[in-house]
Structure 1
Amino acid sequence: MFSGIVPANLSFCTGLTTLILHYNQLNGHIPVDIGDTLTHLQGLSLMENTFTGFIPASLANLSSLHAVSLKRNLLHGPILDSLGKLAGLQFLNFEDNRLSGVIPPSLYNLSSLTNFAVGGNKLHGNIPADIGDRFPMIQEFSLDDNQFSGAIPSSISNLTTLEGLWLSQNRFSGFVPPRLGRLQSRILFLHETNVEANDREGSEFITSMANCSQLRILLIGNNSFSGRLPSSIANLSTTLDSLYLGYNNISGHIPSDVGNLVGLSILEIGHTFMSGGIPESIGKLVNLVQLYWDNNSFSGLIPPSIGNLTQLEWLLAPNNSLEGPIPANLGTLENLQILDLSMNYKLNGSIPKEILGLTSLSSQLDLSYNSLSGPLPSEVGRLHNLNKLILPGNHLSGEIPDSIGNCIVLEFLLLDRNSFEGSMPQSFGNIKGLRVLNLTMNKLSGAIPDTLGSMHDLEQLYLARNNFSGPIPAVIQDLTLLSKMDVSFNNLQGEMPKGGVFRNLTYISVAGNSMLCGGIPQLHLAPCSTNQTGKNKRKWSKSITIALATTGPILLIISVVFLTHIFCKKTTRGQKGQLPPMLIGEKYQRVSYHALSAGTNGFSEENLLGKGRYGVVYKCIMDDEDTSTTVAVKVFNLQQSGSSRSFDIECEALRLVRHRCLLNIITCCSSIDPQGQEFKALVFEFMPNGSLEDWLHPKSEELTLSNTLSLAQRLDIVVDVADAVEYLHNHCEPSIIHCDLKPRNILLAEDMSARVGDFGISKVLGESRIGNQNNSNSTIGIRGSIGYVAPEYGEGSAVSTAGDVFSLGILLLEMFTGRNPTDDMFKDSLNLHKFADDALGDKTLEISDSTIWLHPELNASIASNRIKECLISIFRIGISCSKQQPKDRMLIRDAAVQMHAIRDEYLMFSTELYVT
């Protein structure tokens, strides 16, 4: 392999007729005099090097040149008009450089050309309308991955000698020429060209393609096709090897006779609006290697005939409405490497043992977010070659089989949100290359095994919301790659390790483990001592979820109100200086007016964080012996009508709730101020990153990474909010309706996790009473804020959980469009819901908040399709939640489950992309 520059003495080889220097490491400029010295050249290939600079003008002097290839270099500048003088040129390939400008008209006059390839550059302009009359001998024509625009001329159908046409990844408009089938091409690349089709016009070309008897590859995905998929798609050539239809707005059913396409090895129908069942004839496609059904609305059973596809390597059908059991005969697909049936929700029954016997499964087995039940079969240990086992969000139960330790090449093991019980298998220690282990929200108990210390590649460990007990193993601090750990809400005890990796974890959560002590100072755990009584000796500190920032200052901005565990209730007016009794024990010491006044410097303006309907919020520094704790204090304006009642409603609504995504209250104060006026205040944990409102609509005109949210952050936040609402509706006794979900009432912790606050107008269902008055709408009026309040409330309907779902839907749409529902653009019949619904599909990226792209967490050119897919899924949930009629809205449980699935899928993809 040669390297360096082209030697100068090459010019002495004046008799050369062919110069081939491709697939080397040559650099520098192509010799500018190459056309003046090597005048007899007929063939020139410099492809696959790293040449820079311009195409030499002297090439136009090579009058005998028949073939030239400069493919895959770093050339820039224009394509020279003078090359049109090479009347005998048959082969021209300038693909994959950095060329710009337009294709010179003179090149379209080279009637001798059989191959013309300029794809992968930065060229623009239109294809000449008479292109079909220009190249009578053309066999391959490639303009893909440029910036060409305008219509694809109908005359292109006259290029009957054409065998391959590459027009993909451009900015064309209009319809595909209806008679494209005249081309008799073997290869047609039209994906991501922005061309259109609908039920009335534009899809005729598919019918005409039935004439292409030698057609092998047809790519028409990622366009603006809408309407029903023509049934004539099943009439394409039996030689068709690859068919890509995905990322369009097409609808309808898969034709029942799709099995006619017996030559297919790749069938991609992902990310459309297609529905109906999967036809039984799919089993006739016995040559299929890759099958994509993902992100559609396919329903019904998975046809048993799928077991006939013995060559299948990839089967992806996530995010549909498939139902019933997973066919056991999938276990006959002995070449299967990827099986993804996640997010179908109605898939039920047990996991077939036959699938777990597929030793070919090497990349991924994803059955997450379905309704699978029963134990995880011990046969799982036969997946010796599997890289990712993903089973969250099901109803799996029983013990995690010890045989799972035989899956020694696993990198991702996600078993969260099931009902597994028993202890964590010691055999986990055999999976030494594991990078992510997630067992969150199960019923596991016992000690966390020391064998985790052998997982030297472990990056993320999630064990939250189980019943683990005993200490956190000290060996975990030796896991040098560990960056995130969540062991919150267990029964862990003893001294928290503080050496090694615990000094620089990006994220650590130990909340809800009251018997843990010591550890790094940022955790605010009680100090360990020999006479530890188990009671937290600090008055203000408690174990909370924190983010340990590795760089940058901590932003201490608005910490607007509002709460979770309230341990106070209303006192009778006139009881001077008497604090309200705690409702569930003496967990936190009560606070006096004097302490709050001192901590806020007399409730000074400089400590003011924000103002709400019934009060103001201050930053407060509470001093306790040798420590100081920052809190947020909401002081109620008792002169405001409804303020005192709001205080009582908050106490009543949240006195028994406990959830990580609800703003945590520390204590309360009901006293008399120095002027003899009644004083009421609530004390909350301090939220240093303020409200979601501040991040979605920053006051600064300069939008940067530091004041906007990435896509991953938005997904995390919306999952937290959905979890909080789902908890309030379905897991509280009695249930609670928030009634005022909006960005200003979503607070962000130091790690940017979300807390739902402000329950001042919430509704406690059941028989709860406050001050001998039923907690009803009659005293509050229409509950909610303009833009977020459910439309039925304005018509006098009673408060319901569906109202919160509506508000959540609007909140979600606002988060991902960046548009406030009260924006001036929304008037007459246009609102945020309709704005998103009208754009769903091909215009999704256009309406998405542009600040998402400020964050370089992904390579946009690689990830744009996946980001679009993620946003479409999110918008679908927001649109469903914010429908006009309550009965048409998605249930909060389904919304929460789907948001988890979307977030997890995106994070999995971004992790893979980052690693690669």
Structure 2
Amino acid sequence: MRLFYLYSFSAVMLLKAYGFTGETDRMALLDLKSQVSEDKQNVLSSWNNSFPLCNWKGVTCGLKHKRVTRLDLGGWQLGGVISPSIGNLSFLISLDLSDNSIGGTIPHQVGNLFRLEYLDMSHNFLGGGIPTSMSNCSRLLSLRLTSNSLGKSFPSELGSLARLEILNLGRNNLTGKLPPSLGNLTSLTRVIFSSNKIEGGVPNALARLTQLVSLRLGMNRFSGVFPPSIYNLSSLEILSIFHSGFSGSLKPDFGNLLPNLRRLHMGRNHFTGPIPTTLSNISNLENFGIVFNKMMGSVPSSFGKLQNLQYLALASNSLGSYSSGDLEFLKALANCTQLHTLLVNGNRLGGDFPTSITNLSTNLWKLDLGMNLISGTIPYDIGNLISLQKLMLDDNLLTGPLPSSIGKLSRLVVLNLTSNRLSGEIPSSIGNITRLGKLYFSNNSFEGTIPPSLGQCRFMLYLRIGSNKLNGTIPQEIMQIPSLVHLDLSDNSLTGSLPKYIKPLDGLCILSVAHNKLSGQLPQVLGNFLSLENLYLQGNFFDGDIPNIKGLMGAKRLDFSNNNLSGSIPGYFANFSSLEYLNLSINNFQGIVPTEGNLKNATVLLVFGNKDLCGGIKELKLKPCIMQVQAMDTGHSSLVKKFSVGVSIGIVFLLIAYISLCCLRKRKRNQQQTNHPTSSSALEICHEKISYAYLQKATDGFSSSNIIGSGSFGTVFKALLPTENKVVAVKVLNLQRRGAMKSFVTECESLKDIRHRNLVKLLTACSSTDFQGNDFRALVYELMPNGSLDMWLHPEEVEEIRRPSRALTLFERLNIAVDVISVLEYLHVYCHEPIAHCDLKPSNVLLDKDLTGHVSDFGIARMLMKLDQGSLFNQLSSVGIRGTIGYAAPEYGMGGQPSIYGDMYSFGVLLLEMFTGKRPTDELFGGNVTLNSYIKLAFPERVLDIADNSILNSSLRVGFPLGECLTLVLEVGLKCCEETPKNRLATSEARKDLILIRERFFKH
């Protein structure tokens, strides 16, 4: 016993001699804390000298020496970098830094942790290479570095980690080849190298890893045949080599060599030959995918022996021989009662559609037999597959009617029967499938009328029933499906007119009723489909003028050809900046063909077959326009001459009087501007004026208690206008600030003619002097009682008295995003002269009592169509970067001119901030790490990890696909703030996408 104490004492003294004590651990952890981003250091608030080291949050100490043995900081959303002092925690057994936002590199001092058994730094933003010093951690059992940005090759030195059981390096940027030393890690049970850039072949030494249960090498750049070494790994349960570059054929005894597989994913390679029938010997096989290869032969019926089979994907190969026996395997698959996905589309399968298909598992939710040569009829009992969500039978040779039992498939979201030979009427029971989002029936022989019951499918996005034999009128019900994006009724025999009394569909992008027998005048409501890009009306009997559709400013392709339309060609087509194709041929149009805008391009405009058209560009080869004056009799001619002379003299006198009046007014204005050298033109833009004394009283002497915000050029006060008993917001400009006067002028100029429900309304302005004779300028706006969006996104930065009582929900944020993009679309597309806001950010988005978004602060806006007019260019120009750091487009920092592309960049950043809760200037970001790159690295698998916590914590209905919704929204944001301006999402596109997302997830 004495000897034991002696040794213990000696060990303690030795540790102290080398400086490794509990104090060393304390200092190491405090240094680690110092490298954490400041906004997250509060998470480590217990890490201070007031608490014993072993009571610090996330810290576990050994019972004997009170040294730190475990450090569990996983999922704490910490930013910053890893301090090299981590290497001083010499008793550390387990280190978990996963699921944070840590950047920088892995310090080589980690190699000092020779007792370390578990190391997890996955799901961060770590770069650089994997330190070779990790080979010193000889006790390591688990190494997880997945989902970072680690580069370079896998260090061969790590082959000395003989005890390693788990090696997860997936989702990085590893390059080079796998080293043969990997075969030394004979204790490995799980290896993940997927989603890297690893090249070459798999080393034969891998065959020594006989305890391997999971091997994932997918999404790399390997080459050569299926790795022979893998055939020796009989213990494998999971093998994924998806999209890895392998080729060649598979061994016939594949299933005998790897009998324990549960999941086998081999898609998107270059494999050839038949599917080994021995796969049926893998009794526990659940998932098998070999899509997009060059497999040949038949689909083995022996798959029916796999009682646990859930997922079978054989699509896009060359399976089958276009003969009657190709579908025998379907009968056998009826034994696979757990099967939920069956994909055999894009092969060479032939023969009649077997009725045995209806005996497949009632768990089946996806069935795709499309793009084969399957014939016969669809069995009546197809309705037995009650769990189906996606049924694809397109591009086959199916005949006969569509059974009415299809209406029993109430969970269907996608139904695709395109390009078959189906006939009979479209069953009205389809209206029972209220979840249906995509219905593709084009290129068949369906007849009869379009069932109005389709209008019950309120989530329908794509309805394509063109190229059939349908007749009757277009049901008004389907023209009122609110979610429609694409409606194709073309190439049928529909009669009547287009429905006139329909609600404009916000998201409709494509409408085609071409080549029918429709007649009558085109309805005026077409001009209200603001998202419409493609409109195909050709080959009907429409008559009359083209209605006012100038609202379709985002239109790309318009076809009015082969009708009986008349009147003149509307000149506003020249203002359709996105127009690629306008076909007005074979009608009865008259008059002059416009030559402005896109109509100068002969590849855009087609007008042949209109005998009464003239003029236009020379490529159209139309007759010139000659203005002819009809001859009149002598008496009438004399009277006209006398009348003309009288009118001419009157006009001359009026013109002289007008010029004199203008000169007089100009002289007076010059005199006034000499005495008051401020811009009165700005005031003329605003409506009524208001005095300084009136505002001074309304704000209680501009009391600080009435301050509700401040900006670059002034302070905003809440004011009560006594005569109107109305509460407003008064922005008082600080004229000592350079550019303030210009901001005043610009805001008035920008807002003088624009009106939109999501713009903050400018009520009036004040241009006067205060009681000391100093110049005074103020703008009076409608008050937004819920403050700015910035307050709601970052309530922790707001004083408690003004702090919102709760967080914005996902739905409210999406609504506000639509409000903002609607304003931008109005400014960019529908204003007479496009306007760039130039300073879009959360503090410039104000919220009314209903949390509707209103865009404000046009102090540095730019009217784009007037840039070539010197006066206004100079009037609205400002020096330096336009906008706010973090939100301003990168080209502005390099001297680029203001543009709608710059606004879209700012909107993209705004959108990302709204749903992640992180400012673009967050301390987390710096160097190469930006808000954009931060989201891209986590996108889409970790979208919930980067979402604003207040969204995750808000009460959403059970089963709501939060991750899917956030992914789509953030994708729009990323597309808006692409680095290159021309690559950014167009304003109308962004608005359309956000509306579709809202309709998809929140429309009831």
Structure 1, residues 833-884: CA drift from partner, whole Å, max 9, x if none?
xxxxxxxxxxxxxxxxxxxxxxxxxx9x999xxxxxxxxxxxxxxxxxxxxx
Establish whether residue 436 from structure 1 lines up as the match of residue 472 from structure 2: no
294, 297, 308: which one aligns with 1:252: 297
2:355 aligns with: 304
Distance 1:402 1:560, change over 3 A: closer
386, 396, 415: which one aligns with 1:334: 386
2:287 aligns with: 242
Asked whether the 8 Å contact 2:408–2:433 carries over to 1, the reply is yes
Distance 1:96 1:158, change over 3 A: same
Asked whether the 8 Å contact 2:297–2:320 carries over to 1, the reply is yes
Matching of residues 555-594 of structure 1 within 5 Å = 588=611
Amino acid at match of 1:278: L
Matching of residues 604-683 of structure 1 within 5 Å = 623-625=624-626
40, 55, 78: which one aligns with 1:4: 40
Cα separation, 2, equivalents of 1:535 and 1:129: 75
Matching of residues 120-269 of structure 1 within 5 Å = 120-129=171-180, 131-132=182-183, 134-178=184-228, 180-183=230-233, 184-198=235-249, 203-204=250-251, 207-235=253-281, 237-269=282-314
Which sits farther off after the overlay, 38-47 or 189-198? 38-47
Amino acid at match of 1:422: G
- SS at 2:430 equivalent: helix
Structure 1, residues 539-581: CA drift from partner, whole Å, max 9, x if none?
7759xxx9x9xxxx859789799x9989xxxxxxxxxxxxxxx
Asked whether the 8 Å contact 1:502–1:520 carries over to 2, the reply is no
2:917 aligns with: none
1:91 aligns with: 142
TM-score (normalised: structure 1) = 0.57
Amino acid at match of 1:477: G
Cα separation, 1, equivalents of 2:80 and 2:996: 32
Give the CA deviation at 1:500. Answer: 5.7
Cα separation, 1, equivalents of 2:613 and 2:460: 50
Establish whether residue 399 from structure 1 lines up as the match of residue 449 from structure 2: yes
Cα separation, 2, equivalents of 1:440 and 1:537: 24
Give the CA deviation at 1:523. Answer: 5.4
Structure 1, residues 772-830: CA drift from partner, whole Å, max 9, x if none?
xxxxxxxxxxxxxxxxxxxxxxxxxxxxxxxxxxxxxxxxxxxxxxxxxxxxxxxxxxx
1:41 aligns with: 92
Cα separation, 1, equivalents of 2:399 and 2:517: 27
Asked whether the 8 Å contact 1:428–1:452 carries over to 2, the reply is no
Distance 1:377 1:4, change over 3 A: same
Give the CA deviation at 1:69. Answer: 1.0
Distance 1:314 1:913, change over 3 A: farther
Give the CA deviation at 1:130. Answer: 5.4
- SS at 1:417 equivalent: coil
Structure 1, residues 392-431: CA drift from partner, whole Å, max 9, x if none?
0111111111222222221111111111100001222442
Matching of residues 436-455 of structure 1 within 5 Å = 436-455=486-505
1:690 aligns with: none
- SS at 1:123 equivalent: coil
Give the CA deviation at 1:462. Answer: 1.2
51, 71, 74: which one aligns with 1:22: 74
- SS at 1:144 equivalent: coil
Give the CA deviation at 1:25. Answer: 2.4
Amino acid at match of 1:24: W
Give the CA deviation at 1:16. Answer: 2.8
Amino acid at match of 2:211: T
Q: RMSD in angstroms over aligned alpha carbons?
A: 3.7
Cα separation, 2, equivalents of 1:508 and 1:394: 26
Distance 1:382 1:590, change over 3 A: closer
Asked whether the 8 Å contact 1:25–1:49 carries over to 2, the reply is yes
1:349 aligns with: 400
Give the CA deviation at 1:109. Answer: 1.2
Structure 1, residues 219-238: CA drift from partner, whole Å, max 9, x if none?
11111111222222333x22
2:811 aligns with: none
Give the CA deviation at 1:478. Answer: 2.4
459, 477, 486: which one aligns with 1:427: 477
Structure 1, residues 674-706: CA drift from partner, whole Å, max 9, x if none?
xxxxxxxxxxxxxxxxxxxxxxxxxxxxxxxxx
Distance 1:329 1:155, change over 3 A: farther
- SS at 1:58 equivalent: helix
Asked whether the 8 Å contact 2:566–2:590 carries over to 1, the reply is no
Cα separation, 2, equivalents of 1:388 and 1:241: 29
Distance 1:26 1:131, change over 3 A: closer
Distance 1:172 1:75, change over 3 A: same
1:278 aligns with: 327
Cα separation, 2, equivalents of 1:83 and 1:555: 67
Asked whether the 8 Å contact 1:424–1:449 carries over to 2, the reply is yes
1:669 aligns with: none
Aligned length: 570
1:820 aligns with: none
Asked whether the 8 Å contact 1:422–1:443 carries over to 2, the reply is yes
Distance 1:623 1:187, change over 3 A: same
1:31 aligns with: 83
- SS at 1:168 equivalent: coil
Cα separation, 2, equivalents of 1:192 and 1:626: 69
TM-score (normalised: structure 2) = 0.53
- SS at 1:515 equivalent: strand
Structure 1, residues 97-149: CA drift from partner, whole Å, max 9, x if none?
111101111112101100011111111222233533x1121110111111112
User: Unaligned regions of 5+ residues in structure 2, if any?
Assistant: 1-35, 55-66, 576-585, 629-935, 941-991, 998-1004
Q: Where is the strand percentage greater, Structure 1 or Structure 2?
A: 1
1:52 aligns with: 103
Structure 1, residues 478-498: CA drift from partner, whole Å, max 9, x if none?
233323222122112233232
Distance 1:251 1:128, change over 3 A: same
Percent identical? 27
Distance 1:182 1:274, change over 3 A: same
Asked whether the 8 Å contact 2:545–2:566 carries over to 1, the reply is yes
Distance 1:10 1:208, change over 3 A: farther
Asked whether the 8 Å contact 1:357–1:383 carries over to 2, the reply is yes
Give the CA deviation at 1:81. Answer: 0.6
Give the CA deviation at 1:329. Answer: 2.3
1:415 aligns with: 465
Cα separation, 2, equivalents of 1:355 and 1:252: 32
Give the CA deviation at 1:8. Answer: 9.8
Bigger radius of gyration, 1 or 2?
2
Larger RCO (alpha carbons 8 Å, 6+ apart): 1
Cα separation, 2, equivalents of 1:624 and 1:326: 61
Amino acid at match of 1:114: E
Asked whether the 8 Å contact 2:568–2:591 carries over to 1, the reply is no
450, 455, 472: which one aligns with 2:522: 472
- SS at 1:404 equivalent: helix
Matching of residues 315-334 of structure 1 within 5 Å = 315-334=367-386
Give the CA deviation at 1:39. Answer: 3.2
Asked whether the 8 Å contact 1:480–1:500 carries over to 2, the reply is no
Cα separation, 1, equivalents of 2:193 and 2:603: 54
Distance 1:341 1:42, change over 3 A: same
- SS at 1:300 equivalent: strand
Give the CA deviation at 1:195. Answer: 1.3
Q: Where is the helix percentage greater, Structure 1 or Structure 2?
A: 2
- SS at 1:180 equivalent: helix
- SS at 1:307 equivalent: helix
Asked whether the 8 Å contact 1:43–1:68 carries over to 2, the reply is yes
- SS at 1:432 equivalent: coil
Amino acid at match of 2:292: Y
- SS at 2:236 equivalent: coil
